[in-house]
Chains A and B, each alone.
Chain A
Amino acid sequence: NAGVTQTPKFQVLKTGQSMTLQCAQDMNHNSMYWYRQDPGMGLRLIYYSASEGTTDKGEVPNGYNVSRLNKREFSLRLESAAPSQTSVYFCASSIRTGFSYEQYFGPGTRLTVT
């Protein structure tokens, strides 16, 4: 049971380049989330998917798109990377979006945009 996996672990982009961060979970969870973590701050929600086929904006969605490819996979795309998107990105999953359900986090992707 790998839990939540993310690829890549590290990435450096030039301003204007695009890329997709991949996330997969093998716990048969319905809900998945993308967060970003900036220095000196806690995690902030970018997008989430309550169930397969649905996605919704979180606190900081601008500059990102997501795709819930199937129940296991939830990807985050940066269409035109900006230095302000330099951050550590975490994917998480939970059985459902109910507030009592624990979220399980992946190991994170450290993204630098120059």
Chain B
Amino acid sequence: AQTVTQSQPEMSVQEAETVTLSCTYDTSESDYYLFWYKQPPSRQMILVIRQEAYKQQNATENRFSVNFQKAAKSFSLKISDSQLGDAAMYFCAYRVPSGSARQLTFGSGTQLTVLP
């Protein structure tokens, strides 16, 4: 079974600084997708960024970028120039193209606090 581990339950960052959230996963698949979702206090789940496992280039979306290390099964999220609106719970998630449930498998989340 696939598992996703986020070892940092809480992180904090000063406004305008950079923070990196860690995620590791366990899989025997070679083809899969990885995602970072943001959940603000409104509880809405918002997709931040995604990475296809077959792509060596790390995905980037404005201030958000990932460091994808396939051999190490590591998928960290870097937030640059942190803003107060970035404060939220961040979930790493994994998905394979097949399987009985076709589900997203989520980590337990990292609560990010942005300090003014």
Contact = CB atoms under 8 A, between A and B. Distances in A.
Interface string A39-60: 0111111001010000011110
Nearest to B101: A58
Contact of A40 (B4, B95, B108): B108
Interface in A9-54: 33, 40-45, 48, 50
A108 B46 CA distance: 12
A30 B95 CA distance: 18
A4 B32 CA distance: 25
Contacts of A108: 43-44
A42 B108 contact: yes
Contact of B45 (A40, A43, A48, A100): A43
Interface residues of A, number: 26
A89 to B, nearest CB: 11
Contacts of A50: 102
Interface string B74-116: 0000000000000000010101110011111111110000000
Contacts of A59: 101, 103
Contacts of A42: 4, 91, 93, 105-109
Interface string B39-55: 00011111100101000
